[in-house]
Structure 1
Amino acid sequence: MQLRDALDDYKRTAGHETWFPGERRTTTGRFSGGEGRLVHVDADGELRDFGYPLTGRTGLVRSRLGLSVGGDVTWLDEVPTEQRYVGDTTLIETVHETDAATVTRHDVTLGDAHVTRATLDAGDDGHANLDPDDCSLVVYARFAPDGRDDRIGQLRYEDAVEVYHADEHDFLASDTGFTDLRGQLPTTFQELLDDAPTDLPRARDGDRYEEERLSGEVIADAPFEDGVATVGSLLTDRVETTREAARASLDERFAELDSVEALRAAAAETTPSVPDATPARESVAADLRVLSLLSAESGLRIAGPDFDPYYVHSGGYGYTWFRDDAEISTFLLGADGRLGLGLDDWHARSATMYVATQRPDGSWPHRVWPRDGALAPGWANARIEDGPDVDYQADQTGSVIAYLAQARAEGVDVADLDATLVAALAGLDETLEADGRPVVCQNAWEDSAGRFAHTTATFLEAYSELALHGDGLDASALDADGDADAPGDAVGVEGLPDDLAGHAADQATRVYDALDDLWVPERGCYALRETPHGDIDDRLDSSTLSLASAHRSYDALGRSDSGAGGAVDADRLDRLVSHVEAVVDGLARETDAIAGLIRYEGDGWRQAGQGSEKVWTVSTAWGANACAELAVLLDAHDDPRAARMAERARDLLAHVSPGGSLCEPTSYLPEQFFNDGTPDSATPLGWPHAIRLATVALLDDADLLSAEPVAADD
């Protein structure tokens, strides 16, 4: 997104009740991709690239498509339009109803290429005399190679145009060539200062010779042949791909993708296939599609498409957070084991990148670029800086440990995995206070500091999983060659005992016992946090629902063959049931349009004019997952409350499942909703999709996905 676009949107949306001006929203439309490049096809048909964090290439920042009949252009974003995914794939079908004809588009992104195939249908309603050979597909496209909207040039060919700055070279081509091709300068300073937005593209200005060659903006006419016009764009690096190879690549795409069936078959290769017998198949397929779309080739994922790259109303979303990403990896690992989804490559790529991105002190940084793991802009990198550890999110390290320990147990074999776990264990110990709870740090929502119940839960789960699956781990796994970047070089691993699994079990028990310090009997729940000043903040917070899965891990440790640790006792079960029910009941919100859970009591973020907390899909899905985890834990203790918890899990799951009020017709889960049902913020957000997938798999595995309602007195 360029600043010109942000200012244009500001002019169009300032004062809107539920839109934050200056953003590029993805709450409508669908994405195609799954192999690097990520292209958004809005509900009106506009194309935009969102894949910079995944590939390092900016590509297409604005576009419009139109139908030209005898020289008269109808822009397709101004006519009635319907859109859908074709099956489980990332192939998008968009149908535009113009006065002259129906234009049916199929869009697919494959690697660094995006292809749009448009077909004309005059129908039997008075347009039978339409001559397709007198029609063309008009494409207005603005590219921003290397993220620039200045110092850009164009090279013209018979059937293609190349837009370049320095390293990134972007190509636009047509299978049928171009009957007209022209450039256009970006919005002028005077237009930017005008109160009214500028409609683009403009008419050709014969007095501005620079327009033809010195910008990233292109207007091209691609003629229809036999009622079909196909255009494609390709993002390349000048070192990796010559212009001759780039043009040949597009020609190959046009030749191979010469039908809707061919497009569908190619798109099907970008996402895992889902067996027909899979429970809640529509939901599972949608979740895997979203997580594929948000993934870089490295295996790391962006949290969501970056709708606010200038950080005007948020801190950005197009990065990898190790909390979100590791929890997604853990959810995928569990779901794969239960549903047989064939995701071995996903698990290995995630583990490899977690090993590669670990800091010498055993922790992980705040945010990284998913394409290569390089440090990304962030505000919680205290353990890299020379400041205090408060600006550090310790739960991220806990989440990564839990995943790596489980992946190790499942046979995921990557280099230096054991060394990474040993260093991470030492680093986790460094951030555990003498009282058995984590140090003062930032929370999961990244908006306050303290000693949080959620962070404590991640430590309990990390220690428990490491104790369960840490057989054979010892400090000798660390690289002792003196390499400054080797795992453990900056942590006190010399203080670790020989029996690391036993040590992790002891630490898990310390954390388990220390949770009593956060119990609030008056509310029947665990506190959100102890503030940096030592006060108890007893607000309800959906992140504390993570205590359910953490206790399941600890309980499994007590039931393991080693007998290390101890199973969850009856008093703690009572407290867990009380806590989960208090949080789910206390954070529940229902309007005429939506039903779900808010993030926490007093959450004021992105309220706009609503004046109250918004419903979050993460929180609602987390509620469903916590109830499911607790149901399975209770069932393991022969506790009759398990049935009630399972029912609550199904009820919450329904809100975020297809057909639920928090699941958009696109199949996407946006981060948030206003009370009137308007979706907001990052869409789709990967975290709730992974939680939904894991909850379906867990309930199905426990034969709890469907059941008779529980009687009130049960």
Structure 2
Amino acid sequence: MRLRDALDDYKRTAGHERLFSGERRTVTGRFTGGDGRLVHVAPDGGLRDFGYPLTGRTGLVRSRFGIEADDDVIWFDAAATSQRYVGDTTLVETVHETDVATVRRHDVAIGEAHLTHATVEPADDTELAADDFALVAYATFAPDGRDDRVGQLRFSDAIEVYHADEHDFLASATGFAELRGQLPTTFPELLDDSPVDLPRGRDEGRYEEERLSGEVIVDAPFVDGETTVGTLLTEPAETSRETARNDLSSLFDELDTPDALADAASGTVPTVPDPVPSRESVVADLRVLSLLSAETGLRIAGPDFDPYYQHSGGYGYTWFRDDAEISTFLLGADETLGLDLDDWHERSARMYVTTQREDGAWPHRVWPRDGSLAPGWANARIEDGPDVDYQADQTGSVIAFLSRARAVGVDVDGLDAALVDALASLDGTLGEDGRPVVCQNAWEDSVGRFTHTTATFLEAYGELALHGAGLTGEVTRDASADRDDAPPDPAAHARERARQVYDALDDVWVPERGCYALRETVHGEIDDRLDSATLALASAHRTYDALDADGAVDDDRLDRLVSHVETVVDGLAHETDEIAGLIRYEGDGWRRGDQHSEKVWTVSTAWGANACAELAVLLDAHDDSRAEELAERARDLLAHVSPGGSLCEPTGYLPEQFFDDGTPDSATPLGWPHAIRLATVALLDEHDLPSATPSAAADA
């Protein structure tokens, strides 16, 4: 996204009650990709690249499509449209209904290429034939993220837009009936109060506009009622100019029908076997997680809609908390549903080992394309200050996944050493009283000693105790290092630590509210607000319970867990005429706009469903009849984030948040709730727990 585009959006949306100015929103439209580029196809057909974190290439930052006939252009943003995914793929079909013709488009990103295949059907009341039309494409490229010092090269079959390292190509299978460039928004236009509608007409007084910008307008004629426009992002060191043009030409020849495009797109989403429960939901979750993944296996949290950090800290990065929990959820779902995700698990494990720091921890955020350090605000362990600005739960989440991955046979170099070093790091942030020391929380908006962080420690120690057989303190990342903090038997040590953390949770029990506190503040006070992140206690206790053949969780703790989960789910529940779900925590004021109450979050709602399901399984293992009621609550909450639920968009996507009037907001789709949804579907199916009473939501 260029600053020019952010300022244009600011002019159009400043003062809006539901829009935050300067953002590039993805709450409508669909993405295509999963094998390199990540391209957003807006309902009006506009294309925009969001794949920079995944590939390091910026590509398209603005586009607009329409049809031309008799020298008149009809832009699709003024047309009625409908949009869908084709089958289980990432192929997007968009139908534009204009007064003179219906245009059916199919958009797909394959590697670093993107193709738009279009067919035209003239309206019954027009005398125009299909081949009298041309597809008009206005495209703005920002190679290397630049909108200055950009140039164009014109060839008979393509246009090349370049700055230095990145070279972007635009071509058409039917050639160009016309092409031209133009200057981007000028300084006077930027300073004017009114936004500028682009593209402009030709400015014959500025000859350089044809060559010295990333903006091009092309007419691609329809031949036999069809045309295809394609783009390709390259670097000359990897792909020569001639090869790039030949690659696009080959794609035009090979992928010249919607069926061929669907076949090419099918490999980007794992095949979902039949039968599988909630198939529509499972397919949507795997599609989203494919779209958000880099070739390394690391994932962005969501499409980066706010790259200038005006209203957030950005989303186009890998957080090890989110990513490792997604990996763990995928691992469990794969075991139950048979999704054949071995490659995914292996790639994740390999990158966690690769990105681990010498102190055994993981940095705040990294670029998913290569694991290098990304901008962040919780890198205290890299700096020389105190560890307060550090998120210890991230290390706990990675340990839990690596332990489980090791148990199912994932074998990557350095995995055992990474676990031993991570254990030492976790120990270093555990207080003498058995709870994590002061650090940042999962929501990244405060510091303290958080119950959620404690839950991740319990889960990490528990998983390592369960699956750490064969680990020794002598196995470290640096075999020559003398690690006096590495226990000789890491699994036994983890078991002892798990018991210590389990007991320490009593310190944050709030009997007056029947729940565990959000945190202990830096001043030693108990903050007893309800926090959806504390729902992680359910999964952590189920892991801990497996440490003893007869069950390690005692009856008193089971009672407290039931009380806690029910109190949090009931206390954070929020319902309006348009939506129903859970807010993030009591007093959450982030991105409220003009809304006075907290917003509903899909992560929190999905977490509620998963926690109820995890607790139901735990109760069932203890022959506790309350399992039925918790299973029913899990299904009810799951229904809110399932297809047809108020928090699930028609695209199948889960936005991060919703306003009370049903307006979706923030990162869309967000990977974390999609993984939780998938895991919860699998968990309920695996254990087939009955509901206490019949519920329509049970079929969701």
If the length of structure 2 is used for normalisation, what is the TM-score?
0.98
1:130 aligns with 2:115: no
CA distance, structure 2, for counterparts of residue 67 and residue 263 of structure 1: 22
1:662 aligns with 2:654: no
CA distance, structure 1, for counterparts of residue 597 and residue 452 of structure 2: 23
- 1:524-543 aligned at under 5 Å gives the runs 524-543=514-533
Q: How many angstroms does 1:479 deviate by?
A: 4.1
Structure 2 alignment gaps of length 5 or more: 696-700
For residues 288-341 of structure 1, give each alpha carbon's deviation from its aligned partner in whole angstroms, at most 9, with x where no partner exists: 000000000000000000000000000000000000000000000000000000
Give the structure 2 partner of residue 396 of structure 1: 394
For residues 141-187 of structure 1, give each alpha carbon's deviation from its aligned partner in whole angstroms, at most 9, with x where no partner exists: 00000000000000001121000000000000000000111011100
For residues 660-684 of structure 1, give each alpha carbon's deviation from its aligned partner in whole angstroms, at most 9, with x where no partner exists: 0000001100000000000000000
CA distance, structure 2, for counterparts of residue 366 and residue 273 of structure 1: 33
Q: How many angstroms does 1:276 deviate by?
A: 2.5
Kept after mapping to 2: 8 A contact 1:426/1:493 = no
Give the structure 2 partner of residue 645 of structure 1: 630
CA distance, structure 2, for counterparts of residue 175 and residue 233 of structure 1: 11
- 1:30-45 aligned at under 5 Å gives the runs 30-45=30-45
- 1:418-437 aligned at under 5 Å gives the runs 418-437=416-435
CA distance, structure 2, for counterparts of residue 120 and residue 180 of structure 1: 19
CA RMSD of aligned residues (A): 1.1
Equivalent in 235, 247, 266 of residue 233 of structure 2: 235
The code of the aligned residue for 1:91 comes to L
CA distance, structure 2, for counterparts of residue 598 and residue 480 of structure 1: 44
- 1:185-584 aligned at under 5 Å gives the runs 185-480=183-478, 482=480, 493-559=483-549, 567-584=552-569
For residues 419-452 of structure 1, give each alpha carbon's deviation from its aligned partner in whole angstroms, at most 9, with x where no partner exists: 0000000110010010000010000000000000
Q: How many angstroms does 1:87 deviate by?
A: 1.1
Give the structure 2 partner of residue 563 of structure 1: none
Give the structure 1 partner of residue 73 of structure 2: 73
CA distance, structure 2, for counterparts of residue 470 and residue 145 of structure 1: 47
CA distance, structure 2, for counterparts of residue 18 and residue 558 of structure 1: 51
CA distance, structure 2, for counterparts of residue 133 and residue 52 of structure 1: 37
The code of the aligned residue for 2:602 comes to T
Give the structure 1 partner of residue 658 of structure 2: 673
1:2 aligns with 2:2: yes
CA distance, structure 1, for counterparts of residue 106 and residue 71 of structure 2: 24
CA distance, structure 2, for counterparts of residue 558 and residue 140 of structure 1: 64
1:588 aligns with 2:586: no
CA distance, structure 2, for counterparts of residue 133 and residue 661 of structure 1: 43
3-state DSSP of counterpart to 2:293: coil
CA distance, structure 2, for counterparts of residue 256 and residue 270 of structure 1: 18
1:178 aligns with 2:176: yes
CA distance, structure 1, for counterparts of residue 691 and residue 673 of structure 2: 21
CA distance, structure 2, for counterparts of residue 623 and residue 603 of structure 1: 17
Kept after mapping to 1: 8 A contact 2:654/2:674 = yes
Q: How many angstroms does 1:606 deviate by?
A: 0.1
For residues 252-309 of structure 1, give each alpha carbon's deviation from its aligned partner in whole angstroms, at most 9, with x where no partner exists: 1101101110001111111101113011000000000000000000000000000000
The code of the aligned residue for 1:225 comes to V
For residues 462-508 of structure 1, give each alpha carbon's deviation from its aligned partner in whole angstroms, at most 9, with x where no partner exists: 000000000000122224455xxxxxx6xx83133322111100000
Kept after mapping to 2: 8 A contact 1:696/1:705 = no
CA distance, structure 2, for counterparts of residue 108 and residue 497 of structure 1: 52
The code of the aligned residue for 1:663 comes to C
CA distance, structure 2, for counterparts of residue 611 and residue 143 of structure 1: 40
Structure 1 alignment gaps of length 5 or more: 483-488, 561-565
Distance of aligned partners of 1:76 and 1:458 in 2 relative to their CA distance in 1, 3 Å threshold:
same
Q: How many angstroms does 1:705 deviate by?
A: 7.7
Q: How many angstroms does 1:229 deviate by?
A: 1.1
Equivalent in 666, 678, 700 of residue 685 of structure 2: 700
CA distance, structure 2, for counterparts of residue 474 and residue 44 of structure 1: 58
CA distance, structure 2, for counterparts of residue 298 and residue 327 of structure 1: 17
CA distance, structure 2, for counterparts of residue 24 and residue 260 of structure 1: 29
CA distance, structure 2, for counterparts of residue 462 and residue 700 of structure 1: 25
CA distance, structure 1, for counterparts of residue 321 and residue 478 of structure 2: 28
Give the structure 2 partner of residue 485 of structure 1: none
CA distance, structure 2, for counterparts of residue 315 and residue 236 of structure 1: 29
The code of the aligned residue for 1:169 comes to H
Q: How many angstroms does 1:78 deviate by?
A: 1.1
3-state DSSP of counterpart to 1:66: strand
- 1:677-688 aligned at under 5 Å gives the runs 677-688=662-673
The code of the aligned residue for 2:361 comes to S
3-state DSSP of counterpart to 1:495: coil
Give the structure 2 partner of residue 56 of structure 1: 56
CA distance, structure 2, for counterparts of residue 559 and residue 100 of structure 1: 72
The code of the aligned residue for 1:120 comes to V
The code of the aligned residue for 2:435 comes to R
CA distance, structure 2, for counterparts of residue 704 and residue 44 of structure 1: 44
CA distance, structure 1, for counterparts of residue 447 and residue 36 of structure 2: 35
1:99 aligns with 2:84: no
CA distance, structure 2, for counterparts of residue 667 and residue 497 of structure 1: 47
Kept after mapping to 2: 8 A contact 1:106/1:116 = yes
For residues 168-219 of structure 1, give each alpha carbon's deviation from its aligned partner in whole angstroms, at most 9, with x where no partner exists: 0000000000011101110000000111100000000111011110000000
Aligned residues: 695
3-state DSSP of counterpart to 1:365: coil
If the length of structure 1 is used for normalisation, what is the TM-score?
0.96
The code of the aligned residue for 2:611 comes to A
Q: In percent, how many aligned pairs have the same letter?
A: 77
Give the structure 2 partner of residue 21 of structure 1: 21
CA distance, structure 2, for counterparts of residue 556 and residue 546 of structure 1: 16
CA distance, structure 2, for counterparts of residue 287 and residue 497 of structure 1: 40
Q: How many angstroms does 1:47 deviate by?
A: 0.3
CA distance, structure 1, for counterparts of residue 92 and residue 549 of structure 2: 49
CA distance, structure 2, for counterparts of residue 650 and residue 475 of structure 1: 43
Give the structure 2 partner of residue 486 of structure 1: none
Q: How many angstroms does 1:554 deviate by?
A: 0.2
CA distance, structure 2, for counterparts of residue 708 and residue 228 of structure 1: 55
CA distance, structure 1, for counterparts of residue 33 and residue 108 of structure 2: 7
Q: How many angstroms does 1:708 deviate by?
A: 4.3
CA distance, structure 1, for counterparts of residue 603 and residue 476 of structure 2: 37
The code of the aligned residue for 1:443 comes to N
Equivalent in 688, 694, 698 of residue 709 of structure 1: 694
CA distance, structure 2, for counterparts of residue 672 and residue 481 of structure 1: 46
